[in-house]
Amino acid sequence: MRFLGAIFAAALTCWAEDVPLRAGLSRIDITPPAGHEMGGYAARKKPASGTHDPLYATVLVLESGGNSLALVTCDLRSFVSTRVGELAKLKFGVQNTIISVSHSHSGPLTWEKRTAWYTEAEDKMVEAIGKAKQAMFDASLSTSTGRVYLGFNRRKVTEGKAAMWWRNAEKLPSHPLDPTVNVLQVHDAAGKLRGVLVNYACHPSILGPDNIEFSADYPGAMKRYVESQVPGALCLFAQGGAGDINPYRDKQPVAEGGFAAVQQMGEELGKVVVSILAKKNPITGGGLRTFSEVVEVKNRWTPDQTLKVGWTAGVIGGSLCFVALPGEPFVEHQITFREKSECRNTMMFGYSYSVGGIWAGYLPTIEAAVSGGYGAGYNTTVEVGTGERLVDRAVVKLFEMRGLLKELPDPGY
């Protein structure tokens, strides 16, 4: 497979020390009305009967050295829209927009059936970006890292062949797995904590197809807990490389404590987040840099068909690197990205749409594609190796943005 150089957008700022940073945060309710079709499970045949807990779009806007980024985190299963970013740039001058969804399996169908609600959700996201932009303040950022085991790898590989293992209430060991909890803290000039971005890899599928109420699943419970412990701060959740990671109590029936299980897992994650807030590592110098691109890959099953896939990478200061991929990356991509980028802190935002192209679906590793299984041997569209290529492409661009990779060979050789 060859990457075709169809660069969609690139925003690069001067790499200098102590570039001033501004930030803004906002939240808006994007819950559809009762009767809207739900996504997440083919076995769920009924539309939503109502709302258990609201679905929100929570926005973080960062601005530094002439570059700006809106990270729109949503309690949705997936969302495909270039219109949000286009309007954010036109109305508010925000150069880059990433729509990052938690992948809740108790949310609505979105781009598959573009109803009136879909357009309303786009408009509300744009509105929230505008409110965050209007409420910007001089900010400082820091990171914290912890670990917690709340999920497992649902692929059980024996003698080179994968069998699916959907639920693991016994919490038996699995591999590969990444228990890393990444937190980005946003403080104002007075030192007050205003925003907490949590990045963790695990499917929000505690609620199964029997649930017909809208819910943000465990990320929603986590956000509520963190905000109860840090008054005045907004908590955001950005899903990681969770393509093959399920919660231990996957598809817990509502009649058997499904919502209680959601609350329990959310609070477990939230307690880890709160416990590491004091262990913060400041991000200094360098400002914000981003790079976005649309590339072409082949359809795995019909190689004569090409598919466009958009992705975005960025670096904040000299120590935080991130990549946003429009699909479901397997967890090993997250681990590999962290190792290859050689950045002090890394975040993979899976399930994140930015500059165009398709929703890429599952992004299995090459090894997983060989052993097969759900999302690797079937129910996946892009050609084998797409995930690795996107990660490698992001790593190269991050080295370039950090000034570590030269455009031309050293003339001394």
Q: What is the mean pLDDT of each run of 10 residues along the chain (413 residues)?
A: 37 52 98 96 95 98 95 97 98 98 96 90 98 97 97 96 97 97 98 98 98 98 98 98 98 98 98 97 90 97 97 94 98 98 96 97 98 97 98 96 84 76
Asked if residue 89 is part of any domain, the answer here is no
Judge contact between 386 and 394, C-beta under 8 A. Answer: no
Q: Which of 240, 243, 351, 358 has the alpha carbon at shortest distance from 294?
A: 358
Position 112 scores a pLDDT of 83
Question: What is the extent of the structural domain holding 337?
Answer: 6-16+287-401
Residue 310 lies in a domain: yes
Rounded Cα distance, 83 and 89, in Å:
10
Show the tokens assigned to 26: 């906002």
Quote the longest CA-to-CA distance of the chain. 71
CA 25-28-30 angle, 5° bins: 140
pLDDT of residue 192: 97
Q: Is 315 helix (H, G, I), strand (E, B) or coil?
A: strand
* Cis before 176 (ω within 30): yes
CA distance 328 to 325: 8
Record the tokens describing residue 12, joined without a space.
């690069």
The residues near 342 (Cβ < 8 Å, ≥ 6 apart) are none
Angstrom distances, CA of residue 274 to CA of 228, 261, 265, 311: 10, 20, 14, 31
Residues shown for the chain: 413
Report whether 277 contacts 196 (CB < 8 A). yes
Whether residue 314 lies inside any domain: the answer is yes
The tally of domains found in the chain comes to: 1
pLDDT score for 407: 77
Res 185: pLDDT = 98
With 0-12 / 13-18 / 19 or more C-beta atoms within 10 angstroms meaning exposed / middle / buried, residue 315 is buried
Q: Cβ neighbours of residue 170 under 8 Å, at least 6 residues apart?
A: none
Q: For residue 293, give the DSSP letter.
A: E
In this predicted structure, what is the pLDDT of residue 18?
A: 67
State the pairing for strand pair 21-29/50-51: unpaired
Please check whether residue 291 is in contact with residue 312, taking contact to mean a CB–CB distance below 8 angstroms: yes
In a domain, 262, yes or no: no
Per-residue confidence (pLDDT) for residue 221, from 0 to 100: 98
* 229 part of a folded domain: no
Cα dihedral 327→122→194→242 (10° resolution): -10
pLDDT at 11: 36
* Residue 15 buriedness (CB in 10 A; 0-12 / 13-18 / 19+): middle
